């Protein structure tokens, strides 16, 4: 397990912001200033651009490049992306109480399930686990005869 354990990622879309020029562009906030610079050349007609963090923020291209650095909605997003910068909440401590009345050395009150006994009572193919090879061969031979006899009607 590598990485930050405190980090809890949201949906991937929240990591990207929409380009104010073209809604099809998805940019990481850190690359936004660079992207705006480049994208402005593709959209020379658009005088005003919308802030990708808050669509109600409308700025000229030059002002937008400054705005995205100090946009209050951007700082919300950044804080969301870096939750380890928030004050850490101490997890509640649980008292570990050992019940001394219980004796773990006692045998369980329920009889142990014995698969061998169960199989002996049912007409199912048994697999003699752990038996020596000779006994296993003998067992298989006996089982074959048992099934053959049942099929000779
Ligand atoms: Zn763009
Ligand atoms: Zn903004």
One domain, residues 40 and 79: yes
- Band (pLDDT 50/70/90 cuts) for residue 47 is confident
Q: Which domain holds residue 72?
A: 12-85
pLDDT at 91: 56
pLDDT at 7: 45
| 7 in a structural domain | no
Q: Contact, 16 vs 27, CB < 8 A?
A: yes
Count of structural domains, the chain = 2
Residue among 52, 14, 22, 53 at smallest CA distance from 38:
22
One domain, residues 75 and 123: no
| 3 in a structural domain | no
One domain, residues 130 and 80: no
pLDDT at 45: 75
One domain, residues 126 and 67: no
pLDDT surpassing 60 at residue 64: yes
pLDDT at 59: 86
- With left for phi above 0 and alpha for psi between -120 and 50, is residue 44 left, alpha or beta? alpha
| 51 in a structural domain | yes
Ligand 2 centroid – CA 29 distance (Å): 12
> Taking residues 9-21, what's their average pLDDT?
66
Ligand 1 centroid – CA 22 distance (Å): 5
């Amino acid at each position: 397990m590598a990485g930050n354990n405190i980090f809890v990622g949201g949906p991937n879309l929240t990591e990207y912001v929409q380009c104010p020029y073209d809604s099809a562009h998805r940019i990481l906030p850190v690359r936004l200033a660079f992207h705006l610079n480049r994208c402005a050349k593709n959209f020379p007609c658009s005088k005003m651009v919308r802030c990708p963090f808050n669509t109600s923020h409308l700025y000229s291209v030059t002002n937008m490049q400054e705005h995205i650095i100090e946009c209050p909605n951007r700082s919300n997003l950044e804080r969301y992306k870096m939750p380890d910068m928030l004050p850490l909440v101490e997890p509640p401590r649980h008292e570990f109480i050992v019940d001394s009345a219980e004796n773990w050395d006692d045998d369980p009150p329920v009889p142990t399930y014995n698969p061998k006994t169960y199989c002996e009572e049912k007409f199912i193919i048994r697999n003699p686990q752990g038996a020596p090879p000779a006994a296993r061969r003998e067992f298989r031979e006996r089982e074959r005869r048992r099934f053959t006899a049942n099929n000779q009607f």
